[in-house]
Structure 1
Amino acid sequence: MDYTLLTGYPGTPGSYDEMMEASLRPRGHWRAMLDSLAGESPAMMRQRIEVVQRQVRENGVTYNVYADAKGMQRPWDLNVLPLILPYDEWAQVEAAVAQRATLLNRILLDVYGEQRLLAEGLLPPALVHGHAGFLRPCQGIRHQGDIALHFYALDLARAPDGRWWVVGDRTQAPSGAGYALENRAVIGRIFPDMLRDLKVRKLEGFFDTMRDSLAHWGRRSAGAGLRAGEPPLMVLLTPGPHNETYYEHTYLARYLGLPLVEGGDLTVRNGMVWLKTLSGMQRVHVIVRRVDDDFCDPLELRADSALGVAGLTDAVRRGTVLVTNSLGSSLLESGALLGFLPSLCQRLLGEPLKMPSVATWWCGEAAALDTVVSRLDSLVIKPAFPQLRQGPVFGADQRGDARAALIGQLRANPGNYVAQELVRLSQAPVWKEAPRAGLYPCATGLRVYACATPKGYVVMPGGLTRVATGPDARVITMQQGGGSKDTWVQARAQQDLPHQERGNVERREPVRDDTHLSSRVAENLHWFGRNTERCDNIARLLRVTLNFLFHVRPDDRGAEWAAMTGLCQWYWLIAPPEPTDVTAEPVQPAAMLTDAQIESALLRAVVSPDVPGLVQQQQQLYRCASQLRERISLDNWRAISKMRQDSPVEEQPSQAEAMRRLDDATEAAMLMSGYAMDGMSRDLGWRFMSLGRRLERLQFQCQILRRGLAMDGGDLEWMLLLSDSIITYRARYQARPEWLPLLDLLLLDESNTRSIVFQVDGILKTLQQMAPGRGPAGTEQLAALADELQALTPEADLVGGSLYLADLLQRLIQTSETLSEQIGVQFFSHTGKAAGEGS
């Protein structure tokens, strides 16, 4: 068959090509894919790539490259073409990975246990005791089922002869499995038929197995603390949003159904770990950690850590909580251990190592040091211990004085260095537009994952394929801009694909609320609601004000113009020329500003991140939503992502561009409002979000009416537009807005979701549901104001009592602000007491 896409595909001498044989014929397991793509034009491939990029962007898949200006917002780099591995080859990889995980687990148990390997000379003591990852406080810790390594990953590279080599082990907190699952979700939508035709094995079962296995050991660590059928509480501990793989933490937490927690959400009491929730302290039985070893406990490990839990090591020592992977497991990531694994495997497992490591020499052995110096041009030098914090040095790059200096360092401190043979990485195809549109080979490595089960280690049927930035890259690292691929592992036959088994049906009590809601998450949900509403308020205010400015001549403007610009000043969309106190309300009257000044300020507020306005508020909403990724559905996150698709700019936009952005922002806010109403269960988390929305809307509506009541004449339609109630008013009255019906609609109409009485009633009911009989201070005042609202009479109070109404609205604003502060004090600084603690 004529493979158009392969026209001009360059071979790479000296490297194994994953897709092409040495004769430049496609390998057998690639032919079905290439047949499917045969004859496709470059335009079709570009379309596929655009779909992948859009999906990644809308799903909010990010990877934080610290040196990248985009930082936490850098999109995940996913290539459209997968890496395909045939069944026979994968079976060998799978067996080797399971064996290696078993071996490393045995080594970890021995090093922190009886230390026979050190006594027998199979492990040099200097490699253990000199490693910063060897945590002496963890010595003697016992593990459920003799499993210390619950989740394991290793990096593989293929040599030019096609053999796989292990180039590194990931034993501390292996990352990337969540990205692999996300890759499959995205690429699976691009090639759904190919997944079926190539009999590609699914990944979901691996994660189900991991969760069930952790629950199994979690029940054992709980002892008698669980009732029959009660599941153990498992959490995922993250360093927080600034970690490079934070997206993966949120993705896995959402997928596995685990609460995503930070160190401050947990506490140790009575030798046990507790989650601080709004319903009280709940005992934690399993912690899936993504925090580095020494940061996990500031009490016994690293005193300056703000990421861990004080006393966690003691709780692990007591056996009251299972931490995966075990504290101190980073010791096994040292490349210096690779050269000792063959003899250790024979000693511990009684069999040879099924997959060799890349040739490695620890320079602490005299013979190894001599070998390294003599073969320096073909080696890469790495630090033996993480505390040295040195990057890899390629011997072939060192010439003259630099080479002599490197050799001098090796001889001066040989135990600090490891040398590895430089393996020329295999190549896999990626699509590039230059120098011509087509497929090009790029260096590729594969990260494979395994999890411990009561019956042994299970290997994920796939993994994270990482792609270097060019075909001659010698090191693949995501922190240097590397990309990724989906990994397709073929089953031997269609009938060999595992069927989805039904989970165990256990007798459990129904759960009708979010019992694991932490104070931190509750606060973020509350402010997510407030920021969502604030985005909508600012977008509507800017749209109404700019429309008025563009279409009404200065001579025709009435008192409503002063009211609108006053609201803009309340939001700091129009700031005084020289503000002195940012905490105070603006005092510069908008009347003293020219139309050009006002227009310029409002247009900048639409597009600029440097001034208070729409972009700043959207950024605040996005940051708040990022703290809740594990609780936000994919559909809702896409709405949030679309809201941010327009890049902020510093220059002044055109009037048309500004109005388009405001329309889009209002539409996005409506989408998120619909999600809040129909896409979330009415549990405790929803109540906090709803409470935030209602408090924000109450204050905005009160400000609108206060400004309106202060007008001397003028049109009233702007208030209905701002309140999204113009259609309702017109349908009811078929007339120009008048004060009495307007006030009834915006103030007292219980059926209008924008009315003030609707917000007050909702706030009171929500607080009653959240804390029956013990609501925060301020509830009584708000209830009293609700009674005043209900007692208002149309003619006397609505028409003739503007001063009284203005005072009532001001008291509502002040009471809502007090109530907001008290909600924070009562709910968002929760500490509580653990079971068994006295008063």
Structure 2
Amino acid sequence: MLLRQLLTDYPAAEGSFDEMRDEAGETRAHWRTFLDYLSRETPNEMRHRIDNVRRRLRNNGVTYNVYDDASGVHRPWDLNVLPLILPHDEWAGIEAAVTQRATLLNHILLDVYGEQKLLEEGLLPPALIHGNAGFLRPCHDIAHRDGTALHFYAVDLARAPNGQWWVVADRTQAPSGAGYALENRSIISRAFPDLFRDLKVQHLAGFFSTMRDSLAHWGRLCAANQYGDELGLPLREDEPPLIVLLTPGPYNETYYEQTFLAKYLGFPLVEGSDLTVRNGMVWYKTLSGLQRVHVILRRVDDDFCDPLELRTDSVLGVAGLIEAARRGNVLIANSLGSNLLSSGALLGFLPSLCQRLLDEPLKMPSVGTWWCGEPLALEQVIENLDRLIIKPSFPQLQNMPVFGQDLKGEARDAFIASMRAEPQNFVAQDLVQLSQAPVWKSVGQPGLVASAIGLRVYACATPDGYVVMPGGLTRVATGPDARVLTMQRGGGSKDTWVQGVSSTPMLNLRQLAVSNEDLLREDTRMSSRLTENLYWFGRYTERCTAVARLIRTTLDFMLNTQPEHRGKEWPVIQGLCKSFGLIVSDEEEQNQIQSQGQNQGQSQNQAQKADELLSDVEMEEALVLAVMSLELPGPASYLEQLYRIGSQLRERLSLDNWRILSRMVERPDSSTPPSLADATVMLDETITSLMTLAGFATDGMTRDNSWRFLSIGRRIERLQFQCVILQHALEMNTGSNLDWLLDLSDSSVTYRSRYKARPEWVRTLDLLLLDETNPRSVIFQLQGIVKYQEKLAMTYGYCGAKLLTTVMDELSALSPRTDLRCGNPHLIDLLARINLASYEVSEQLGLRFFSYTGNIRGDSMNQEQAA
């Protein structure tokens, strides 16, 4: 594609800075290599790159939850294929300014929660601190390791029309986006591998290694407990401290990023319910007992972190967390109360504070900011309202930003009156004319168009100062209002490429010498919540498979067997469908589904009494509905549940696992009612994908306790399914066709290869009940469950194995010659008791492992217990 064609629709920047071209319309030097490369691309090649980027985002499950978006947690992350490129000399200035700003804000945070000399000297108005709900009084005088309270910092930058970078906002509470920046890099560097290498783009991995090493350094200090009164449990020499990432949960908008970072950094991802405070220390609830937590990297807002001393209605935090921090027994990153610094009202005071605290001028100015609590500033703001954006001063004020130029007539007068009534609640900023950068247009004539962008840069603290990520998260205004850069309003993102900057030496605080004691063969940090999710992930994987096979077997039987030849098998198969809820037998429920528009044209005659046979037409309509409907207990609804459980296991699932799971919940966007052919295709694809997912668990997971809980879940679900279908099947006649039963039990190939004859009862029941080599047999499930329970008992004590051993022994004692026959009441009763025992085992596991009770692990505790 010629360069002229590439730039056909690229607009000249009017009143703003263009990242790619200068004022004369010439390409900037650091963009020339990239632009020359694009000009040699054909439209098909570029389309292929874009498709690859979108596919990777979809397959990796990269999402951002927009709360009022119908896509919900399935909304894909918006990533533009073209990066933002910054030259090394320009980045050096940004890096120095961000380092200085992080250092300054850390000093302010230490002073405000310490001696408060800045308030005493009049450099900060008391109203800005004590009027801010972000100022947490319980956190006053908490000591901070190495004088660091701001461990992770992000700053939003925008470029003025003259090319000067300005600070728009400081992110000091629990900055988000660094994980997305890392994900963006992973994807875009693969889209342009040659360019990435040729432009000598700086890597991001070292930044995260530095952050991990720094937190570990401070975690070891917490373990030594130099500040607190309590005697902490000492770490062995070279034993790493326990660092956890505290998440608000799977419905948070950046939950994907949190799981991604937890997996990348190797930190357990925990919710507030996974932690507890005892004896002034924070403990992680694991199956092995309570393990002491030394560092909490939090993504929960300040006031939700401790319901004991902060918000009493919070269910996201840990009661007693502030007391543990007060005693110096845990490091919280960032320190509680750091949200105070995010107020835009502070920006106007930073130049004088920088001179006072660092004895140097502020290297990067903040966008023009006026706090209306100062009378002179209020009048200036009202006079220049049209060119300003008005924001709330404090986080407790839920007002949205207001653009002065949008206010007209009575609305303008009313807004000014509210400002005069409570001026301290308002802060005004210059409306920045955002710079523009190229984005790729794939609709119509391919080429480059422009969009407004801003840059979020990240810094992490180390014992020797701050280190800045060489790049960041470029945010793109793709929503209806290009004046606002926010993901919650439809914004997008870019990768950020910093050229040829010599890497800042990344801190390697300590090289650990690994001994035999440091080698682990089991995961000792499995929480009860994680274990429960693994267990139910196994169950729902098998439940999806079972109902999908039942529907497919039923359809095959119905289509391939003439009505006059169906015999006793057809009532039994229909009875199974009703037992598993695949046929709606409640007319009222069916009418409700129709009123919600879920039946997609199916007949109302589908609602029948449980003991009546449905016609072929009615069965077809009912099963197609069961396949597609999210309201009925069929494959679609079970897959949705499986996806929700999997979402809470993101840090435990491999990328290949997640790709399979994501594809399974993709639903065709069609306004026409699904046909039988559509349902059949979906069934085949679902069963194939589920077998692939099960294969990952069988062949890819380490055989530790996490695998055992998942496997117990799968085997209990399969055991219950097999017991039910065999109970129903035993109601048939001696000469009944058993092909459907073998097919439903995925045992047809084994039977035919062994016997090469028409299925008959003794051989079929032997294969499905007593064959220890058949992974679908009842005895196979029982033996596996008991074996895994006994393995768990070696670590955790008795967990219900005896509940199954009695019925397993009774099953093993069956005589194939006399007991394996249809209509045998003893066999039917035994299957019912096995099924009941499996439910009792499930309940026992829940009480033993999922409702947490446990003892604190550690030498001092063990000594107390022994005494």
Task: Calculate the TM-score normalised by the size of structure 2.
Answer: 0.93
Q: How does 1:203-222 map to 2 (within 5 A)?
A: 203-222=204-223
- Alpha carbons of structure 1 residues 189 and 468: separation in structure 2 relative to 1, 3 Å: same
| Partner Cα separation in structure 1 for residue 85 and residue 275 of structure 2 | 42
1:690 corresponds, among 706, 711, 735, to: 711
Q: Which residue of 2 aligns with 1:296?
A: 305
What is the alpha-carbon distance in structure 1 between the residues aligned to residue 508 and residue 327 of structure 2?
Answer: 36
Question: What's 1:201 paired with?
Answer: 202
C-alpha deviation, 1:772, in angstroms = 3.0
**One of 791, 799, 807 as aligned partner of 2:821:** 799
Paired residues for 1:108-187 under 5 Å? 108-187=109-188
Q: Which residue of 1 aligns with 2:513?
A: 506
1:117-159 deviations in Å (ceiling 9; x for gaps)? 1101111111000000000000000011110000000000000
Percent identity over the alignment is 62
CA RMSD of aligned residues (A): 2.1
> What amino acid does structure 1 have at the position aligned with 2:680?
M
- What letter is aligned with 1:311? G
Q: Is the 8 A contact 1:609 1:650 kept in 2?
A: no
**Alpha-carbon spacing, 1:497–1:120, altered in 2? closer, same or farther (3 Å):** closer
Contact 1:609–1:648 (8 Å) recurs in 2: no
Q: Which runs of 5+ in 1 are unaligned?
A: none
Alpha-carbon deviations, 1:422-461, whole Å to 9, x = none? Answer: 1100001112345643221111000000000111100001
Bigger CA drift: 222-231 or 776-785? Answer: 776-785
Distance 2:49 2:412 in 1: 47
Matches of 2:711 and 2:401, distance apart in 1: 52
Range that drifts further, 4-13 or 811-820: 4-13
Question: Is 1:385 paired with 2:389?
Answer: no
The separation in 2 between residues aligned to 1:299 and 1:499, in whole angstroms, is 39
Once residues 506 and 374 of structure 2 are traced to their aligned partners in structure 1, the CA distance between those partners, rounded to angstroms, is 51
Equivalent residues of 1:443, 1:471 under 8 A apart: no
Shift of 1:471: 9.4
Judge conservation of contact 2:378–2:423 (CA < 8 Å) in 1: yes
Alignment partner, residue 476 of structure 1: 485
> Are the aligned partners of 2:731 and 2:823 in contact in 1 as well (CA < 8 Å)?
no
* Pair 1:502–1:197, CA change in 2 (3 A): farther
Change (3 A) 1:89 1:590: farther
Secondary structure of 1:281's aligned partner: strand
Does structure 1 residue 241 correspond to structure 2 residue 260?
no
Task: Pick closer, same or farther for the CA change 1:550–1:461 going to 2, 3 Å.
Answer: same
Residue type at the aligned position of 1:783: T
Residues 245 and 270 in structure 2, CA contact (< 8 A), matched pair in contact too? yes
Relative distance call for 1:399 and 1:646 in structure 2 (3 A) is: closer
In structure 1, distance between residues paired with 2:447 and 2:669: 34
1:465 and 2:471 matched:
no
**Alignment pair present for 1:819 and 2:846:** no
| Residue number in structure 1 paired with 2:382 | 373
The verdict on how the C-alpha distance between 1:136 and 1:270 changes in structure 2, with shifts beyond 3 A counting, is same
CA–CA distance in 2 between the matches of 1:564 and 1:476?
A: 57
Once the two structures are TM-superposed, the CA of residue 499 in structure 1 deviates from its matched residue by 9.8
Mapped partners of 1:497, 1:271: distance in 2: 38
Describe the superposition over 1:661-720 as per-residue Cα deviations: whole angstroms up to 9, x where unpaired: 111001111111111011111111111101000000111111222122111132101111
| 2:170 match: secondary structure | strand
| Residue 829 (structure 1) aligns with | 851
Determine whether 1:668 maps to 2:710: no
TM-superposed CA distance for 1:727, in Å, is 1.0
Say if 1:3 and 1:35, in contact at 8 Å, map to a contact too.
no
Q: Please say if residues 615 and 648 of structure 1, whose CA atoms lie closer than 8 Å, have aligned partners that are also in contact.
A: no
Question: 518-527 vs 735-744, which deviates more?
Answer: 735-744
- SS in structure 2 of the partner of residue 169 of structure 1: strand
1:707 is matched with 728
Contact 1:154-1:166 at 8 Å conserved across structures: yes
Question: What amino acid is the match of 1:91?
Answer: A
Residue pairs, 1:37-436, within 5 angstroms: 37-223=38-224, 225-434=234-443, 436=445
Distance in 1 between the 2:796 and 2:287 partners? 13
Match of 1:745 in 2: 767
Paired AA for residue 733 in structure 1: Y
Query: 1:419-458, aligned counterparts within 5 Å?
Result: 419-434=428-443, 436-458=445-467
SS, match of residue 446 in structure 1: strand
Work out the CA distance in 1 between the residues paired with 2:101 and 2:631.
53
Q: CA deviation at 1:590?
A: 5.8
Partner Cα separation in structure 2 for residue 416 and residue 831 of structure 1: 47
Deviations 1:387-418 (A, max 9, x none): 11111111122222222222222222111111
CA deviation map 1:746-771 (0-9, x unaligned): 11111111111111000001001112
CA contact (8 A) 1:466 1:483 kept: yes
8 Å Cα contact 2:731-2:822 kept in structure 1:
no
Q: Is the 8 A contact 1:272 1:283 kept in 2?
A: yes
Number of aligned positions between the proteins: 833
Contact 1:608-1:648 within 8 A present in 2 as well: no
Equivalent AA in structure 2 for residue 609 of structure 1: L
Q: After TM superposition, give the deviation of residue 8 of structure 1 in Å.
A: 3.0
Structure 1 position 808 matched with structure 2 position 808: no
The alignment status of 1:599 with 2:620, answered yes or no, reads yes
Q: What is the DSSP-based 3-state SS (H/G/I as helix, E as strand, rest coil) of the residue aligned with 1:772?
A: helix
Distance 2:510 2:220 in 1: 17
Mapped pair 1:721 → 2:743: yes
Letter in 2 for 1:504: Q
Q: 2:654 maps to what in 1?
A: 633
Deviates more, 1:395-404 or 1:343-352: 395-404
Cα distance in 2 for partners of 1:591, 1:801 equals 22
Offset at 1:589?
3.6
SS of match in other structure, 2:584: coil
Change (3 A) 1:248 1:766: same
2:347 counterpart SS class: helix
- In the TM superposition, residue 337 of structure 1 has moved relative to its aligned partner by 0.4
Letter in 1 for 2:69: D
Deviation, structure 1 residue 639: 0.7
C-alpha contact (below 8 Å) 1:206/1:458 kept by paired residues: yes
* Cα shift at 1:722: 1.1
C-alpha spacing 1:244/1:492, structure 2 compared with 1 (3 Å): closer
Distance 1:392 1:492 in 2: 37
SS of residue matched to 1:418: strand
Residue of 777, 784, 792 corresponding to 1:755: 777
Question: In 2 relative to 1, CA 580–30 (structure 1 residues): closer, same or farther, beyond 3 Å?
Answer: closer
Query: What amino acid sits opposite 1:671 in the alignment?
Result: T
Return the alpha-carbon distance in structure 1 between the equivalents of residues 5 and 670 of structure 2: 42
Contact map agreement 1:443 1:470 (CA 8 A) in 2 = no
Summarize deviations over 1:487-515 as a string: whole Å, max 9, x none: 1111147xx69799898242342111111
CA distance in 1, matches of 2:627, 2:692: 20
Contact 1:605 1:613 in 2 (8 A): yes
Which residue of the partner structure matches residue 30 of structure 2?
A: 29
Whole-Å separation in 2 of the counterparts to 1:503 and 1:546: 64
Task: Pick from 576, 582, 585 the counterpart of residue 585 of structure 2.
Answer: 576
SS of 1:381's equivalent in the other structure is strand
Conserved? CA contact 1:131–1:386, under 8 Å: yes
Q: Cα offset for 1:40?
A: 2.7
1:562 to 2:571 alignment: yes
Distance 2:797 2:608 in 1: 36
Residues 398/51 of structure 1: CA separation in 2 closer, same or farther (3 Å cut): same
Structure 2: which amino acid aligns with 1:9? Y
Shift of the 405–580 alpha-carbon distance from structure 1 to 2, 3 Å rule, reads closer
Query: What is the Cα deviation at residue 831 of structure 1?
Result: 2.5
The residue aligned with 1:736 is: 758
**Distance in structure 2 (CA, Å) of the matches to 1:532 and 1:27:** 54
Residue range with higher mean Cα deviation, 281-290 or 461-470: 461-470
Distance 1:499 1:319, change over 3 A: closer
Q: Structure 1's 746 and 475: CA in aligned 2 closer, same or farther, altered over 3 A?
A: same
User: Deviation of residue 776 (structure 1)?
Assistant: 5.5
The range that moved more, 643-652 or 713-722, is: 643-652
Contact 2:792-2:799 within 8 A present in 1 as well:
no
